[in-house]
Structure 1
Amino acid sequence: MNAEGRALRFNCNGSGLVGIVEVPERPLPRGVLVVTGGPQYRVGSHRQFTMLARGLSQRGLPVMRFDRRGMGDSEGEPRGFERIDDDIRAAMKEFFMQMPELREVVIWGLCDAAAAAALYVATDERVCGLVLLNPWVRTQLDDVAVWNKVPDGKRNVFAGAAPLPQRVADSLARYAGQVLVILSGDDLMAAEFARVMARHEVRARRIDVSGASHTFASHKWRAQVAEASANWIMSW
């Protein structure tokens, strides 16, 4: 199926954000929003997000990818993954405006973007599913040396917040939609999240990509991820 790439600009709390929507010739009512994390922008490491979006759109799935505030071509100050709910919400609003056929959206994210998606999802009933790749669940406050550097007057603020693994697990437990977790076979973050899944009994479909690095840095691994994502998203 043919698809058209549509460049767009939208607003998030006064900052202009840049994105691209892949519009299939005959769009399905379910779309995919790719959330970027870390220092990445809408293209992704090794062009992974671009190739994923084009592949999914050829199967009829509309796909939007965008630069959050302070990254890529978007305006604003950079912020950590735990503070991008407004960026995701603004992108969701724009996605539905661009694609009136949409009825529901799957959010797809890698590393800290996966954690951000997991934390966001319980607040938006339009999200029917999550694809989480090697979610980041490491909290530096678990490190005693780091904790000791926090000023005494600030410790009560951090003490009241649950550790990141617990917050991610709790958010997924409250979420009633579908969840797919894709883990690299050769990645410490993936191994760490696998332990979180077991400890907190996270309800999700899990796929392991044998030997893969954190960002799936080969054509073979990226193709496996794209195929697994597409098959799962279209299976329910």
Structure 2
Amino acid sequence: MNRLHLTFPCAGAALAGTLDMATATGTTGLLIVSGGNEVRAGAWAGQAQLAARLARHGVPVFRFDRRGVGDSEGANGGFRSSSDDLAAALAAFRKAAPQVRRVVAFGNCDAAAALLLHHAGLGIDALVLANPWTIDGEEAPAAMPAAAIRQRYLAKLRNPREVLRLLSGGVNLAKLFRGLRSAAAPAAAPSSLVDALRAGADAFAGPLTILLASGDRTAQLFEAAWPKDDARVQRIASASHSFSDDAAREWLFTRLLDVLD
């Protein structure tokens, strides 16, 4: 596996990128877009490890730091202002790996939102979106959404051990009643960002896959705001936002290979 570090231009700034490529390279490549202000290596170097593993399977993988993040120059305008960064990264990817004919883009959290907002005209062939960010502000609400609380309590009621705890007095009743009151709250109105994400999903002509760690709060907020019958959504019972536990890591890798193949 060869790892190439390079720079490329974007709106007057020099951005840093990394290309992982096996000796026998495939014609389908993966563009990894980092979420938040995370550098291209990812949380606990998870994106770097993922890229190396995919490269060993013959998949060229390109990662980059957007403007104002990590090793890249410029001002950090956040995911809403990353259209030029995405276009520049794709151009750099295609230049560095000219054999790539099909590009799959993968993003977690607000990187998933960025891809839905800005994919038009980029020539991306497929999207894999993990735990998409749906909040108009910079931070998720401290409380879980009512739909997620209802789902949690229904799961407990299906568990005989939890029912036995309730009947034997092993449950804090005050906390239980607070949770039930929250679960009964009406659903929040969709945010303007959710409307834009839905429009972006509807406008994308290629395959689109949504991956959710069902115990992650960002994923729960997404589920509360997204159509319940969307067959493109796949879930794993994990609370890891970055798919860092062993089961979630393997699940993510397999899902990506399914799309790349």
TM-score computed with the length of structure 2 as normaliser = 0.76
Q: Deviations over 1:189-235 (max 9, x none)?
A: 11222233316x65x5322121232122323322221222112321x
Q: Equivalents in 2 of 1:205, 1:63: separation in Å? A: 23
Q: Which residue of 2 aligns with 1:20?
A: 18
Instruction: From 167, 173, 179, give the equivalent of 2:202.
Output: 173
Q: Which residue of 1 aligns with 2:89?
A: 91
The CA deviation at 1:80 is 1.3
Q: Which residue of 1 aligns with 2:148?
A: none
The CA deviation at 1:104 is 1.9
Map residues 1-236 of structure 1 onto 2, 5 A cutoff: 3-124=1-122, 126-140=123-137, 163-198=192-227, 202=230, 205-234=232-261
Supply the AA of the counterpart residue of 1:172: A
**Taking every aligned residue pair, what percent have the same amino acid on both sides?**
33
Q: Is the 8 A contact 2:29 2:260 kept in 1?
A: no
Task: Please state which structure has a larger fraction of its residues in strand.
Answer: 1
Q: Equivalents in 1 of 2:19, 2:107: separation in Å? A: 16
The CA deviation at 1:47 is 1.4
Q: Tell me the secondary structure at the aligned position of residue 122 of structure 1.
A: coil
The CA deviation at 1:139 is 1.5
Q: Deviations over 1:72-129 (max 9, x none)?
A: 11111111111000001000000010111111211100100010011111232x2110
Q: Equivalents in 2 of 1:196, 1:58: separation in Å? A: 37
Q: Is the 8 A contact 2:40 2:64 kept in 1?
A: yes
Q: Deviations over 1:19-43 (max 9, x none)?
A: 1101121221111100112120011
Q: Equivalents in 2 of 1:39, 1:121: separation in Å? A: 20
Q: Equivalents in 1 of 2:227, 2:78: separation in Å? A: 26
Range with bigger deviation, 185-194 or 82-91: 185-194
Q: Where has structure 1 moved over 6 Å in runs of 4 or more?
A: none
Q: Tell me the secondary structure at the aligned position of residue 41 of structure 1.
A: coil
Q: Is the 8 A contact 1:212 1:221 kept in 2?
A: no
Q: Equivalents in 2 of 1:128, 1:232: separation in Å? A: 10
Q: Tell me the secondary structure at the aligned position of residue 228 of structure 1.
A: helix
TM-score computed with the length of structure 1 as normaliser = 0.83
Q: Deviations over 1:49-90 (max 9, x none)?
A: 011111111111110001111111111111111100000100
Q: Tell me the secondary structure at the aligned position of residue 119 of structure 2.
A: helix
Q: Equivalents in 1 of 2:45, 2:257: separation in Å? A: 17
Q: Tell me the secondary structure at the aligned position of residue 127 of structure 1.
A: coil
Supply the AA of the counterpart residue of 1:139: D
Q: Is the 8 A contact 1:20 1:66 kept in 2?
A: yes
- Corresponding pairs, count: 210
The CA deviation at 1:132 is 0.5
Q: Is the 8 A contact 2:34 2:107 kept in 1?
A: yes
**What is the root-mean-square deviation in Å for CA atoms of aligned residues?**
1.9
Any stretches of 5+ residues in structure 1 without a counterpart? 142-161
Q: Equivalents in 2 of 1:185, 1:93: separation in Å? A: 34
